[in-house]
Structure 1
């Protein structure tokens, strides 16, 4: 296993030589989490150690469109300048499904003067982590990522269905934690684990979730940037492996109307950089004041951060009563009905779980946003509400119900702008406004069915 946080360019060259790599996929995650970039011959990559792309490439909406006008172009010039991309040696991974020996390397984005591009997702997460580090704190996270296996379908007008497993039948009922239901797709998951091992991804457990064809992969805890990179790589791996087995894998928040949505639950804790101790626990093992302030920050700022946690129109279909997804920002211990959960754990492992984030969220943006909320809680010493010890679904909705409402809240929250960066917030909200406008041009089957002859 490579000690990646100290990986140098000379070690990168040795790593590539040992694996006889002939091609490099030079990647940069965009706002949606899509891998943009170029594929270079090994010699060209070694010679240049970087590449250029238009600066708007990391600021594209999920439809591939750009805003036509507005504040977006106060940040990104309409002259379509180049970004200068620099490889991060610590991110190198083999591409296990490639025919020829191929590596993939994530790049960071800079302008021609060497300044970091502030709206690139990786830049935003690093910015937030640096704020913690300046206080002598080290955030630690562990994502739990849900996804669906889906039967291949090329017609977007048709509802999605679970795929057929080894038995020759598709799931027709919910099989939460069923071992046999997972074994229906043994050949697929054997390849996934083999690919993850080749890529040195620190995946932990695999379970079958509540929905038909819904799975969950848990990651071992680590520092946020490393985990965001791993989730980014993992999503690529799952999609590719599923295709090779004749099915799709989707991280849509709500792909099927009658099945639960998919989340990316993020466990988070805070270490003292000097001592390595968990700052969420006192010496006697009780919860610390920092633990409560962090929860208070999540409660105070999560509604305004929802456009970052739930970035698409589909995302808000997941956040409804009786769907195994939260509808508010209450908190509780060992309570899965709340938006902010504290699992039962030893004092050294005390952590907070954000259950609001969707599986469709960009991992860099989502981790940056949840850490930003906690950071503001610590800095502003925000006390949480009393702990919820009952069913939080009996409470009121306390989260925005649509992308439009979420964007309005994000635009008005100056504290998040300060922590995440005003350039990022401007670009992100402008891109999401464009996506929302595109969605509003589409007439749905529900509208034709219920409104055509009745209104």
Structure 2
């Protein structure tokens, strides 16, 4: 590749990274699962890398739709996303957009989100997003089965357990310190409701930055857990008798010019502190909730989380119905105390956050354009509301399994509008095959129940 003179900006970036001791750069993009993929490039070649020198065969990856005979896609890093790896400061990671034949690749997940952000900007909005990151820290037990990292983490109700948190302090502290060094501003972390489960909460940002950060976060937690002799899991529901790992989307729109929060309203007549714009946004998401579920709850296992109780003794804290309410956590869409934002509780930590944010934003913007109204907020325990009352309110169930979600995704015109024809078809086909593979698998549960029954 011919040499080009470095711009002052690239030279400054190169010098800053070199001064930090960085040797290699990763031009990272994601597959259909939102997992980071990259080639490593020596820092001396960063200028070529930023222009898209690194080529990839999409056919070698899940959900990067290319035939093996197609021209490769190239990754073009976003310089503003440069993130030096806290566990290996000789390497810098860049979030990248995929290009094909010199043009943005239609099926690039990051590009799909950027298209929706551009539509929001045309309407005068900035889309702000915060994600509550839940995950498990586990080790292999004596029988090879996963158990909590701490042997003392055995309480029946371990939520907010201080001993469980302090037992994992060396790892959790290293994680939080790394996040803060990266400028993410962690404001809370805790032991969550399942044994071995933790949550970190850090400041919201524009949706593209947040999606980049959560993508990097999952990679970082895995690497730090391995360093401490454990492994991290982002499986939505590893244990049937415990709560699963959500990734609640906390969303608001800001004025694109002033940055003012457009979802705040101290005089909200419904008493939730949310503006008319916020209610319209919420109504749009509710309209498309069943299709969105295929993207924010994207695995077979996701729907083991979206149940009232299952094999648990108490409620799961995960939503079951397409509904919204005030601070009530039994709704899919919740307006937290203080208002000014809306929270989607159906999302889990296994998703591709670029695609999930794109679907959420597109649905919310439709609600604003059409002036939709979600009706009165639901304040009751929705798990216990009688079926007749749910029907009277027009409240439907979220999909009960991945097949139902994919059916809804395919039937909703919004899906193809957001994803584009290529990713729409790729996503639906990949997830339907995932369901078929699961459905045809004979499990231990089936053998234990039926092998000697008849």
Q: Same fold (TM over 0.5)?
A: yes
- Residue 69 (structure 2) aligned to one of 71, 75, 79: 79
2:134 corresponds in structure 1 to 146
Structure 1 equivalent of residue 162 of structure 2: 179
Secondary structure, counterpart of 2:38 in structure 1: strand
Report what 1:4 is aligned to.
none
Tell me the CA shift for residue 146 of structure 1: 0.8
**Residue 387 of structure 1, aligned match among 370, 377, 395:** 377
What SS class does the counterpart of residue 254 from structure 1 fall into? coil
Structure 1 gap ranges (5+): 1-6, 67-71
User: Unpaired segments of 5 or more residues in structure 2?
Assistant: 1-7, 309-314, 388-395
Look up the match of 1:449: 448
CA distance in 1 between partners of 2:215 and 2:142 (Å): 25
The count of aligned residue pairs is 426
In structure 1, the residue matched to 2:240 is 257
Cα shift at 1:235: 0.9
2:81 corresponding residue in structure 1: 91
Residue equivalent to 1:414? 413
Within 5 A, what are the aligned runs for 1:60-139? 60=62, 76-98=66-88, 101-112=90-101, 114-139=102-127
Which residue does 1:311 correspond to in 2? 298
> Which residues in structure 2 correspond to 1:355-370 (within 5 Å)?
355-370=345-360
SS of the residue corresponding to residue 334 of structure 2 reads: strand
2-side partners of 1:159 and 1:378: how far apart? 48
Residue 3 (structure 1) aligns with: none
Q: Which residue of 2 aligns with 1:26?
A: 27
TM-score under structure 1 length normalisation: 0.88
Give the secondary structure class of the aligned counterpart of 2:407.
helix
Distance, in Å, in 2 between the alignment partners of 1:219 and 1:367 is 17
Alignment CA distance shift 1:264-1:154 (3 Å)? farther
Q: CA deviation at 1:380?
A: 2.2
Q: Is the 8 A contact 2:113 2:354 kept in 1?
A: yes
Inter-partner Cα distance in structure 2 for 1:415 and 1:26 = 30
Q: Conserved in 1, the CA contact under 8 Å of 2:275 and 2:340? A: no
Q: In the alignment, which of 186, 189, 203 is matched to residue 172 of structure 2? A: 189
Q: Work out the CA distance in 1 between the residues paired with 2:134 and 2:275.
A: 31
Task: Return closer, same or farther for 1:307/1:154 CA change in 2, 3 Å cut-off.
Answer: farther
2 CA distance for matches of 1:154 and 1:398?
40
Residues 7-54 of structure 1: per-residue CA shift (max 9 Å, x gap): 943432232122121112221111101111211222233444331101
Q: Does 1:239 align with 2:222?
A: yes
The alpha-carbon deviation at position 419 of structure 1 amounts to 3.0
Distance verdict in 2 for CA 1:417–1:379, change over 3 Å: farther
Query: Matches of 1:308 and 1:125 in 2, distance apart?
Result: 13
- Partner SS, residue 96 of structure 1: coil
The Cα of 1:195 is off from its aligned counterpart by 2.5
Higher deviation after alignment, 422-431 or 324-333: 422-431
CA contact (8 A) 2:158 2:193 kept: yes
- Gap change, CA 1:125 and 1:202, over 3 Å in 2: farther
Is 1:163–2:149 an aligned residue pair? yes
Contact 2:107 2:419 survives alignment (8 Å):
no
Residue aligning to 1:424: 423
Q: Does 1:53 align with 2:43?
A: no
Q: Which 4+ stretches in 1 moved above 4 angstroms? A: 282-286
1:166-224 deviation digits (Å, cap 9, x = unpaired)? xx534343221233321111111122123224433343311111111111111201100
Q: CA RMSD in A?
A: 2.2
Supply the distance in 2 between the matched residues of 1:378 and 1:92 (Cα, whole angstroms): 34
Q: How far 1:78 sits from its partner (Å)?
A: 4.8
> What CA deviation, in whole Å up to 9, does each residue of 1:119-158 have, x standing for no partner?
1211111111111011111111111111111123699xx6
- Counterpart contact for 1:354–1:370, Cα < 8 Å: no
CA distance in 1, matches of 2:13, 2:141: 40
Partner of 1:36 in structure 2?
Answer: 37
Q: TM-score, with normalisation over the residues of structure 2?
A: 0.88
| 2:251 alignment partner, SS class | strand
Following TM superposition, by how much is the alpha carbon of 1:387 offset from its aligned partner in structure 2, in angstroms? 1.2
Which protein has greater RCO, CA pairs closer than 8 Å, 6+ apart? 1
* Cα separation, 2, equivalents of 1:201 and 1:11: 23
